Amino acid sequence: MSSKKPSRLQSSLSFRLTLWYAGIFALSSFIAFLLFYALITAVIREKTDQDLSNQASQFSSVLRERGIRAVENFALLEAQAAGEKKVFLRLLYPSGEAFSSSNMAYWKDIAIRKSAIAQLLGGSNQVWETVILDARRDQVRILYAMIGPGVILQIGQSMENYARIIDAFQGLFLTTMALLVGLATGVGWFMARRAVSGVTAITRTAQGISAGTLEKRVPVRDRGDEIDQLAMTFNQMLDRIQTLVTEIRQMGDNIAHDLKSPLTRIRGMAEITLTTGESLSGYQAMAASAIEECDRLLDMINTMLMISRTEAGVDRPIREEIDLACLIRDACNLFRTMAEDKGLTLDCDIPERCSITGDIRAIQRMLANLVDNAIKYTASGGTVRVVMPEWSENNTVITVTDTGCGISEADLPHIFERFYRCDQSRSRSGTGLGLSLARAIARAHGGDISVESRPGHGSAFTVSLPAA
Ligand code: ADP
């Protein structure tokens, strides 16, 4: 058995839409035709029956008023007037035997139906019959009516004229339908092509991207339709992917750079120690420096992992009730010596108690990063302040301000990015990961961190932590 694969045209959406469009159009036209056809034939039949019935009433009046001879003459005249090939009339006895008729040469195939006569004798006023004359492809509508005591009229009328009207109607319909279905197919194809042209553009862009050009964008045609929405969503997705790819590349460069320096240092130290044939104390010093460098590296790698896991939601913060005021006080006490050594004032203006739910270790780490930075980037004589301007059941806000070097407008949007370090800070120790981690922790708690800074005057980092 061979299963034939549909051709490209057959499997295309435009082709299938056109087929549906033309199919539905043809089907609805056909149904309309059937209804119209049924209506026309019903109207025609009703009109014919009405004519025949009126004639039977006339015969009945003639019989009543002028007798049987007059009826016979009237029948002949009526048949001649209407045309002997259109109408025939027979006058019958109740036995079914004809005693008078119009010229029946053309109608010799029409029999007298005994059952119809029996029905009349049984009490029916009129009995109807439709006879199909196969030889002439003609239909004859026949009425049997009792027009007087013992006198039955059989009157028949050819439906040929009406059949011609219906034939003409059929012909007209078929031609019109063929034209309209052709037109519908053309219009359907045009509309389907127009509708899917946007999708084709998106496919082409996607193909271009798989070939390696992330800069390409799908043209948006400003029609505001579904295709435009798809194109806009696709473009937004591409923007996001491009940003992510750039960030990943940049991060890769930064990681490579930040790993390279300590590794080069460790290698250099080891090489010097080996070539200069150092004493035991020399080896010990080298090993201590190597451990220190390795610790820094491990710390950096662990921080990177922690940021990734916190951002990805893998490390969900533990939700426990903590006294934030107490945590801040502890952090300030821890950093006070460091601040004083640097000649700074560390102020801590916080309420007695402030309960929040969160991850104690993560919050500690976030606070430590912010206070550490404030001390690190503030020169001797300056002040670092940790305050809580808001602490309610719904939201808690912590602000860490300093009178340090501040951050330039150009650097401000980037300081929360991984490994980003402002130029002026490169001489100081640090990895460029502290603020990324702090923000990831704040966000994992449903909050965020914002910053305001004036270069040369200081910075203010504001952490908001909504109630869980
Ligand atoms: P780092 O390890 O370099 O401190 P962070 O991620 O903590 O890394 O900070 C990123 C950069 O933001 C820092 O290199 C520094 O340039 C700037 N920065 C952070 N906090 C402050 C601050 N309080 N004052 C001035 N600059 C700051």
What's the CA gap between 21 and 29, in Å, rounded? 12
Over residues 284-312, mean pLDDT: 87
Instruction: Please say whether the beta carbons of 56 and 141 come within 8 A.
Output: no
Largest Cα–Cα separation, the chain = 157
Q: Tell how far the Cα of 293 is from the centroid of ligand 1, in angstroms.
A: 21
Neighbours of 120 (CB within 10 A): 18
Q: Tell how far the Cα of 441 is from the centroid of ligand 1, in angstroms.
A: 17
Q: Tell how far the Cα of 375 is from the centroid of ligand 1, in angstroms.
A: 10
> Is pLDDT at 2 greater than 50 in this prediction?
no
Instruction: Please say whether the beta carbons of 433 and 303 come within 8 A.
Output: yes
User: What number does the ligand 1 atom closest to the CA of 461 have?
Assistant: 23
pLDDT score recorded for residue 363: 95
What's the CA gap between 441 and 458, in Å, rounded? 24
> Is pLDDT at 280 greater than 90 in this prediction?
no
Provide, rounded to the nearest whole percent, the portion of the chain with pLDDT above 90.
Answer: 30
> Is pLDDT at 48 greater than 50 in this prediction?
yes
pLDDT score recorded for residue 334: 94
User: What number does the ligand 1 atom closest to the CA of 435 have?
Assistant: 6
From 347, 394, 396, 385, select the one nearest 461 (Cα to Cα): 385
> Is pLDDT at 310 greater than 70 in this prediction?
yes
Two tokens, residue 370: 């912010």
What's the CA gap between 91 and 225, in Å, rounded? 75
Q: Tell how far the Cα of 415 is from the centroid of ligand 1, in angstroms.
A: 7
User: What number does the ligand 1 atom closest to the CA of 402 have?
Assistant: 23
> Is pLDDT at 210 greater than 80 in this prediction?
no
pLDDT digits (tens, 9 = 90+) for 121-173: 988 889 999 988 877 777 899 999 999 888 899 999 888 877 788 788 888 88
From 404, 378, 400, select the one nearest 332 (Cα to Cα): 400
pLDDT digits (tens, 9 = 90+) for 183-200: 888 888 888 888 777 788
Q: Tell how far the Cα of 435 is from the centroid of ligand 1, in angstroms.
A: 7
User: What number does the ligand 1 atom closest to the CA of 406 have?
Assistant: 25
User: What number does the ligand 1 atom closest to the CA of 437 have?
Assistant: 6
> Is pLDDT at 5 greater than 80 in this prediction?
no
Q: Which residue has the least CA distance to atom 12 on ligand 1?
A: 415
385 pLDDT band (50/70/90 cuts)? very high
DSSP single-letter state for residue 133? E
CA atoms within 13 A on the CB side of 341: 7
Whether 382 is in the pocket of ligand 1, judged by its Cβ within 6 Å, is no
Q: Tell how far the Cα of 428 is from the centroid of ligand 1, in angstroms.
A: 10
pLDDT digits (tens, 9 = 90+) for 57-94: 998 998 889 888 888 888 888 888 888 888 899 989 99
What would the DSSP string read from start to end of 256-305?
HHHHHHHHHHHHHHHHHHHHTT--HHHHHHHHHHHHHHHHHHHHHHHHHH
Q: Tell how far the Cα of 328 is from the centroid of ligand 1, in angstroms.
A: 20
Q: Which residue has the least CA distance to atom 16 on ligand 1?
A: 422
Mutate to test the pocket of ligand 1, among 425, 450, 451, 462 (most ligand atoms within 8 A of CB): 425
What would the DSSP string read from start to end of 351-392?
-S--EEEE-HHHHHHHHHHHHHHHHHTS-TT-EEEEEEEEE-
Neighbours of 132 (CB within 10 A): 10
pLDDT score recorded for residue 11: 63
3-state secondary structure (DSSP) of residue 216: coil
Two tokens, residue 64: 């009543």
Two tokens, residue 268: 């250099």
Cα 147 to its chain centre, rounded Å, is 74
296 pLDDT band (50/70/90 cuts)? confident
Q: Tell how far the Cα of 432 is from the centroid of ligand 1, in angstroms.
A: 7
> Is pLDDT at 293 greater than 80 in this prediction?
yes
User: What number does the ligand 1 atom closest to the CA of 420 have?
Assistant: 10
Q: Tell how far the Cα of 321 is from the centroid of ligand 1, in angstroms.
A: 30
**Domains by residue range for the chain, with CATH:** 13-166 (3.30.450.20), 226-286 (no CATH), 320-466 (3.30.565.10)
What is the enclosing helix (H) or strand (E) of 325?
A: helix 324-341
Cα 330 to its chain centre, rounded Å, is 53
pTM to 2 decimals?
Answer: 0.56
What's the CA gap between 90 and 88, in Å, rounded? 7
| Residue in the block written with tokens 């930040």 | 258
Hey, which residues does 139 pair with through a beta bridge?
132
Instruction: Please say whether the beta carbons of 205 and 234 come within 8 A.
Output: yes
| Residue in the block written with tokens 């082709």 | 15
3-state secondary structure (DSSP) of residue 250: helix
Who has greater pLDDT, 215 or 438? 438
3-state secondary structure (DSSP) of residue 215: coil
Two tokens, residue 348: 């801590």
Q: Tell how far the Cα of 421 is from the centroid of ligand 1, in angstroms.
A: 6
Whether 422 is in the pocket of ligand 1, judged by its Cβ within 6 Å, is yes
What's the CA gap between 58 and 52, in Å, rounded? 10
Least confident of 5-19, 159-173, 453-467: 5-19
Whether 425 is in the pocket of ligand 1, judged by its Cβ within 6 Å, is yes
3-state secondary structure (DSSP) of residue 143: strand
Mutate to test the pocket of ligand 1, among 415, 423, 454 (most ligand atoms within 8 A of CB): 415
Mutate to test the pocket of ligand 1, among 306, 421, 457 (most ligand atoms within 8 A of CB): 421
Q: Tell how far the Cα of 283 is from the centroid of ligand 1, in angstroms.
A: 35
What's the CA gap between 226 and 348, in Å, rounded? 56
> Is pLDDT at 1 greater than 50 in this prediction?
no
